[in-house]
Structure 1
């Protein structure tokens, strides 16, 4: 057993040192409100005689043994651990365990590890960090994009824009003059055609 505790200490000194593919924990992070409850799921790749649960407190620099639950559902609690607060439930499979924590308090803050014993060592899961707060933060507000306005064909913004814009008199006045010149050039042509082909009084 001394080797197991030594191994746990090494794991705390070097994060990720003892994590392995035999255990998986979900979720990675939990933010819960005071007096509520939460649960942490631990999945094992193979069947074991039971699962240990530990809590590491970064603030206190303390590693606590919480509870051991064997394959038959019998629980063994650590010193000064409330049986009404912590409980372990087996999932639908024989390799699934969940730790339930009720009446959450600030003292429950920490990183929780599920663990199994193998070859005189305690192999830890990836860990679940639990944070307990009095008031949960509000979700960020989503802002709607402003509605796009319909394009305006002719909008005069400034005097400089009037001189260069599509609505400027400098654009349509030359166009009107060109049309007028074209009409005037057609008058002599129409007159000559009329003289070459005079219309008789009685018509054809």
Structure 2
């Protein structure tokens, strides 16, 4: 018995120490409401004599043996374990479901299914069960605002100020810059035109 508890402790402290592809456990997490019920599924891929169910008690820092269910459907319960609260339902020869009824806060913990083969203990990945009085409501996402096309400039009131995109403080410097650029281009164009005429005259004189 001491060896079994030592093995369970190693399985808890070292994730993957006892986990095996021959045994799967779902779901990973359950959040249930008080006085409701829930189920944990355990599936095996090899022949076995039965399935053990354990619970890791975080407060007491120890494993609690819940029950053992053999392949014939008969169950053996641990000390002070209620048969009305815990029961195993065999959905098939390789699939077992632990049913937990009338949930209370004391039922919270990490649940493991386990099988024993050739003096080897194979442990499931575990299911963390949380029990609350009120389930949290799903958060509603705020829809993204619709993208609007840029509107034309509209006159603003005096109270709004004169710093908008249509303000003279914005477009007057831009217009002045464009005018200066245009004036600087005109002399260059004239010089280019004169140089072109000179070259044309020289060619014809020759």
- The answer, yes or no, to whether TM exceeds 0.5 is yes
Q: Distance in 2 between matches of 1:127 and 1:159?
A: 64
Match of 1:131 in 2: 130
C-alpha displacement at 1:156, in angstroms? 4.8
Task: Report the CA distance shift for 1:159/1:115 in structure 2 as closer, same or farther (over 3 A).
Answer: closer
Match of 1:26 in 2: 26
Q: TM-score, normalised by structure 2?
A: 0.74
Unaligned runs of 5+ in 1: 175-204
Matches within 5 A, 1:140-151: 140-151=139-150
Cα RMSD between the aligned structures? 2.4
Match of 1:82 in 2: 82
Q: TM-score, normalised by structure 1?
A: 0.74
CA contact (8 A) 1:4 1:121 kept: no
1:107 aligns with 2:126: no
C-alpha displacement at 1:13, in angstroms? 3.0
Task: Report the CA distance shift for 1:82/1:152 in structure 2 as closer, same or farther (over 3 A).
Answer: same
Q: Distance in 2 between matches of 1:82 and 1:119?
A: 30
Provide the aligned length of Structure 1 versus Structure 2. 169
Q: Which has the larger radius of gyration?
A: 1
Q: Distance in 1 between matches of 2:71 and 2:93?
A: 8
